[in-house]
Amino acid sequence: MVYRTYNLPNNLVVAVRNVAKKQRVDVNKIVEEALREFLEKHKGERFSEIEQKMQNELITKLSVNLPRDLVEMLDKYAKENKKRMKSDIVSAALVEYFNNHMPDQLTVKENSKIQYGVIGVRFDEKTYLDLWHLAGLRRVPVSYVIEDAILEFLNKYENMNLADVIEKEGIHVSDLYRGKSLISVHMAYETRERLEEYARRNKTTMTAVVRAAVKMYLDKIKVEVN
């Protein structure tokens, strides 16, 4: 299995997760089925002709584990179509999959504008190196890893006070307010707005929240690996 993270329209990510929950299947399985069906059906067809029908807003990241042969098929199709953004192909595959099998699960937005938010966050040297190491293993930009951490944190603790979270997770407050190694974090604008609102409600900085989210995320991965 190969780990990949894709930029996808928010409505697609919501649909994938809803169907996975309803059918009690893995998100990976839905993306795999959609991609296999799409790549087999459109083999040899110009992707540009398909893409013209689908102008979606890329605002959410979805990380999945896919079979290596499928990833190789996707890479080959992208290369043949001179398409650097494989996320566009995954997006097209999922839209077609839902339209063919579950049209009631999806409403595709057209002619939307892509929006991203950027913040600079300084991390301590160990965290900085761990982030880049994980990004290298997953073969994704380090921002993808950090946004995954932020989203996981917000989805779990958005309605909980930060002070209670760090006490629950055993995080030292001093760890949230120090760092020398800067990373520019690109994230969906929606994610940045949620982060900013959470920081405002807790009377702290966005960088402090990001550091807490990243620490918890990395600690969780270390536990899973061990």
pLDDT at 38 over 70: yes
pLDDT for the residue 116: 58
Q: Which of 79, 81, 63 is nearest to 139 (CA)?
A: 63
Cα–Cα separations (whole angstroms), residue 107 to 22, 97, 104, 189 = 18, 13, 8, 21
d(CA 199, CA 134) in angstroms, rounded, equals 26
Mean per-residue pLDDT over the chain, rounded = 83
What is the DSSP secondary structure assignment for residue 125, as one 8-state letter? H
Q: How far is CA 104 from the centre of its chain?
A: 24
pLDDT for the residue 112: 40
Averaged pLDDT for residues 67-88: 87
Which band of pLDDT confidence, cut at 50, 70 and 90, is reported for residue 195? Answer: very high
pLDDT for the residue 149: 93
d(CA 16, CA 26) in angstroms, rounded, equals 10
pLDDT for the residue 115: 52
What's the pLDDT tens digit per position in 96-151?
Answer: 888 888 877 765 443 344 455 778 899 999 999 999 999 888 887 888 899 999 99
d(CA 112, CA 152) in angstroms, rounded, equals 25
Six token digits for residue 225: 């690996």
Q: How far is CA 8 from the centre of its chain?
A: 8
pLDDT at 67 over 50: yes
pLDDT at 225 over 70: no
Q: Which of 155, 126, 132, 141 is nearest to 213 (CA)?
A: 155
Residue 63, SS3 per DSSP: strand
pLDDT at 222 over 50: yes
Q: Which of 94, 114, 117, 122 is nearest to 106 (CA)?
A: 94
Which band of pLDDT confidence, cut at 50, 70 and 90, is reported for residue 162? Answer: very high
Of 104 and 8, more confident: 8
Alpha helices in 61-178 (DSSP H): 68-80, 86-101, 125-138, 142-157, 162-169
Sequence-distant (≥ 6) Cβ neighbours of residue 42 within 8 angstroms: 50, 77
What is the DSSP secondary structure assignment for residue 195, as one 8-state letter? H
Averaged pLDDT for residues 84-106: 82
Of 22 and 38, more confident: 38
pLDDT for the residue 128: 93
- Predicted TM-score (pTM) of this structure: 0.52
Q: How many CB atoms lie within 10 A of CB 34?
A: 23
